[in-house]
Amino acid sequence: MNRYINQLINQRAIAKFRRIATTLFVSFLAFTLVVACQPNTPPQTPTPDSNPGTTEPTTGDQDGIPIGIGVAQTSNVALLGQEEVIGAELAGTYFNDQGGVDGTPIKLVFQDTGGDEQGTINAFNTLMNQDKVVGIVGPTLSQQAFSANPIADRAGVPVLGPSNTAKGIPQIGEYIGRVSAPVAVVAPNALDAALEINPDISKVAVFFAQNDAFSKSETETFQEAVTAKGLETVTVQRFQTTDTDFQSQATNAIGLDPDLVIISGLAADGGNLVKQLRELGYEGLIIGGNGLNTSNLFPVCKALCDGILIAQAYSPELDNEINQAFRAAYQAKTQQEPPQFSAQAFTGVQVFVEALRVVNQDTPIADLPLPELRTKLRDAIFAGTYQTPLGEISFTAEGEIIQQQFYVAAIEMSEDGEQGKFKFIK
C-alpha cells in the first residue's frame, strides 16, 4: 500500500514539474519575440517646445511676434468681449501697416475665456504654454483677472487688462498692469453729472451684481461717493449677472421713492434691470456703471435705455492723431462710433507694440530667450509714455495706469428704440 502511494506521489510530482517547465519555456519564448520585435530607437530627450520655460527665442515664427488676446467671446460677457476683439483686430492691422516691430509683424493670437474663471485660466495657459505669446491683453472681467493673472505673474508673462477696473488688479503681481482706469477714479464723475442735472437729488437706490468682483468693487466706490455728497442710500439691492427677472428688487426700491438709481452690473443683466425699473414706473435718473458702457446695451432695454448716465474713460471726439485713425477704422468696419472697450483693447495692443520696439532697439528680440524677452517687455511697458486713443497714458511702477482725461455720456435712443448713441455731456 505504501509503495502504491509513493508511486502515485512521484507520478504527480513529475507531472507538476512538466507543467511548470512548459509554462516557463512558453513565457521565455514570448518575451524573446517581443524584445526582438521592438524598434531600435535611441532614448528620447525633451524638445525645447515641450518645456514652457524654454530658452529658445519665440520670435523666429515667420507669422510674426505673438501677442495673446484673452477675452470673452462667448457667454453673457461676450457683449463686452466682442467689442474688445474688434479693437484688438483694428490695432493689429494698424500697427502691421506701420511696419510692426521694426519690420517684423505682430501676430494676434485669440483665445476665448468665456465668462467664468476656469475658462480664463484655460485660455491663459494655452496662450502662455502652447502659443508662446510674449504677453496678454485680457481678460474682460476683473473677476476673471483675480483668478488667471496670478498664474501669468508666476510664469513671468506680462498682462495688460483692457477692462479690469476693480481695486487691487495691479497689485496681483509684478507682471500685471492695466490700461483701464480704476473705478474709484472714473465712477464718481457720473454722480457729479447727475447732481448738475438735478441738484435736488437726496435719496439713492443702489443695485449691484454680487457674483462679480468688479461690480462689488464699483458699488463700494459709488456708495462712498453718495455718502461723501451728503445723500441718503435708501436701499442696496443685490442680484446675479445671470438673472433676468428683477421685479422684486425693482419694486422694493421704487417703493422707497428714490431720486437716483445706480446700477453696477453687466450689459445683459443691467439692461434688463433698467427696462423693468422703467416698466414699473420709475422716472428718475439712472447711472450705469462700467459694465453698461457698451452699445450692446441698446438692444436689451431699447428706448428705455434713454437718459442713462455713464462715466467714460474714452471719447471718440478726442482730438489726437491715433484716435482719429482708430475712430475712422472702427467706423469703416461697423458704421458706428467706437466704444470704450474697443478703444481700451486697441490701446493694450498699442502699448505692447511700442514697448517691443523699445526692447528691440536695445537687443534684437529675435535673439532673446522667451523668458528674458517677457521680462524686458514688462520693464519697457511700465517705463513708457504713450499717445493713445485714451489720450496720454503712462504707468506707475506697479502697473497702474496714469490717465488724465475722463468724461460722462448720456445715452440717447430713437423713439422706436432701434438706434442709440452716447452723447458726451461732461
Question: How high is the pLDDT of residue 53?
Answer: 33
Q: CB–CB of 94/353 below 8 Å?
A: no
Contacts (Cβ under 8 Å, ≥6 apart) of 372:
none
**What is the Cα 245 distance to its own chain's centre?**
27
Question: How high is the pLDDT of residue 59?
Answer: 52
Contacts (Cβ under 8 Å, ≥6 apart) of 298:
305, 411, 413, 417, 419, 420
Average pLDDT over residues 311-325: 97
**Cα 383 to Cα 11, 177, 354, 387, distances in angstroms:** 93, 12, 11, 14
Average pLDDT over residues 145-155: 98
Which carries the bigger pLDDT value, residue 317 or residue 27? 317
Q: Tell me how far apart the alpha carbons of residues 285 and 201 are, in angstroms, rounded to a whole number.
A: 9
Which three cell numbers mark 35? 524584445
Locate the domains of the chain by residue range. Answer: 65-180+318-395, 185-312+408-424
Identify residue 373 by its one-letter amino acid code. L
Output DSSP code: residue 174.
T
CA nearest 163: which of 113, 126, 125, 220?
113
Question: Which residue(s) pair with 422 in the sheet?
Answer: 411
Average pLDDT, the chain: 89
Q: pLDDT-based confidence at 274, cuts 50/70/90? A: very high
Checking if the pLDDT of 300 tops 90, the result is yes
Identify residue 57 by its one-letter amino acid code. P
Checking if the pLDDT of 31 tops 50, the result is no
Checking if the pLDDT of 314 tops 50, the result is yes
Q: CB–CB of 120/128 below 8 Å?
A: no
Checking if the pLDDT of 200 tops 70, the result is yes
Contacts (Cβ under 8 Å, ≥6 apart) of 141:
72, 77, 80, 115, 163, 164, 212, 213, 214
| Lowest-pLDDT range of 26-30, 200-204, 266-270 | 26-30
Pairing outcome for strands 176-178 and 159-161: parallel
| Lowest-pLDDT range of 24-28, 274-278, 292-296 | 24-28
Question: How high is the pLDDT of residue 62?
Answer: 60
Question: How high is the pLDDT of residue 63?
Answer: 84
Average pLDDT over residues 319-345: 97
Q: Topology of 185-312+408-424 in CATH? A: Rossmann fold (3.40.50)
65-180+318-395 classified as CATH 3.40.50.2300? yes
Kindly tell me the burial class for residue 6, based on how many C-beta atoms sit within 10 Å of its own C-beta (0-12, 13-18, 19 or more). Answer: exposed
Q: Tell me how far apart the alpha carbons of residues 13 and 20 are, in angstroms, rounded to a whole number.
A: 11
